[in-house]
Every structure is written in structure tokens, then in C-alpha cells.
Amino acid sequence: MNVPRCSGVCAMMRVLALFIHVMSTTAKRHVVYWNSTNTRLTGDDYSVQVNLSDYLDILCPHYPADPPSSGPVETLALYLVAEGQFRGCVETKEAIKRWECNQPFAPYGPVRFSEKIQRFTPFSLGFEFLPGRHYYYSSLSTDDGPPLPCMKLRVNVCCPPTTAESSRQEDGSCSTRSCRNAAEETLVS
């Protein structure tokens, strides 16, 4: 068999096409510095648009080894909450505590928590995200921390399900845990 050989330009085009394909399917990382100096968190309209397989990286407040004399350091807990709690920035029994930022002097830099935006999770403490839904994060001071302003973030998961998927969810034929879990349904809109 005679297979045509590819010239140098042709080989480069193949490599470029492969590179573009890999880059277009790679997950993005959305980084949020979660502290009271981030004015986007203290407003009412900060939201992040994510796709399935993306990551939401939360960086906790961090201070140099020598504590600043300007005031107490921030320590806080982050919660996944329903929209009503998000608007008022309050903790209720339905809120899911995701992380606690309680190491403001970590020697290696700010503590980072990563949330993978995925439809199904193999981890018991992981959270499953549905396309086309909105999820809400807010934080409260820990008991040993100073009072902090209300900091919150809305996460919009891209792309609503197609008509076939949504009809399967409505008629009960969807067999996934995220379709059946009523507790999760209270956290999304």
C-alpha cells in the first residue's frame, strides 16, 4: 500500500489541530480570592459562569508570618446555600458547610479549596452540579474570627439540559442520584 507521506507543513498542521482540540476541551479554573478586601464578593451581583468539568478555586484569607497590627485576621466558613439564604447571607440548617478558612498564617501561602463542577461525583463529600442551574456560596465569620461583611458568590453552570433530558427528569425516569435528591433541589434555582 502506498500511503501518502505528509510534508513538514502537513505534519505541523496536524499537531496544531491536535493542540487546538486539547485546549478547547481542557477544563478552566475560576479563581476567587475569598476575603473582605475583594469588593466583588461584598456586592450583590458577583457571579461566575462555569462549564461542567471546570474548577472553582477558592483562596482563603492569608497573612504574613508576622501578624499585622491593624486588626484581627479573617477566619470564616463557606457554605453552599439556597437562594433565599444567599440574599440575606444567613446560616440555616439547610446550608451545607463546604470549607473552613481557619489557617490565615499557613506557611505555604493561602489555603486553596477546589470544587470540581461535575454532574456526577465519586466522592461522598463531593457535590453534583446540574447544567443550567445556579448555585450560591456565602460565608460567615467563625466563632474566633472578627465580624465580616456578607461575602457571596453565584455560580452559573452552563447550559440548560436539552428537552429530552429535562422531560426525563420531570417524569421520574432519570435514575441519577442528583435527579432524585430532594435536598440538593432546595439549594438550586
Q: What is the pLDDT of residue 76?
A: 92
Structurally, the chain folds into a number of domains equal to 1
Residue 72 within a domain: yes
Quick check: is 169 in a domain? yes
Q: What is the pLDDT of residue 69?
A: 62
**Range of the structural domain that residue 87 is part of:** 28-185
Q: What pLDDT does 161 receive?
A: 64
Residue 180's pLDDT is what? 35
- Here the CATH number for the domain that contains residue 97 is 2.60.40.420
Segment-wise mean pLDDT, segments of 10 residues, the chain, 189 residues: 65 67 71 93 90 95 78 88 79 85 92 93 86 93 83 90 54 40 44
In a domain, 1, yes or no: no
134 is a domain residue? yes
| pLDDT score for 86 | 79
pLDDT at position 25, please? 57
What pLDDT was estimated at residue 65? Answer: 81
The answer as to whether 7 is a domain residue is no
The answer to whether residue 107 is domain-embedded is yes
- Smallest CA-to-CA distance from 165 within 121, 131, 114 is with 131
pTM here is 0.70
Whether residue 97 is contained in a domain is answered as yes
Q: Is residue 173 part of a domain?
A: yes
The per-residue pLDDT for 19 is 58
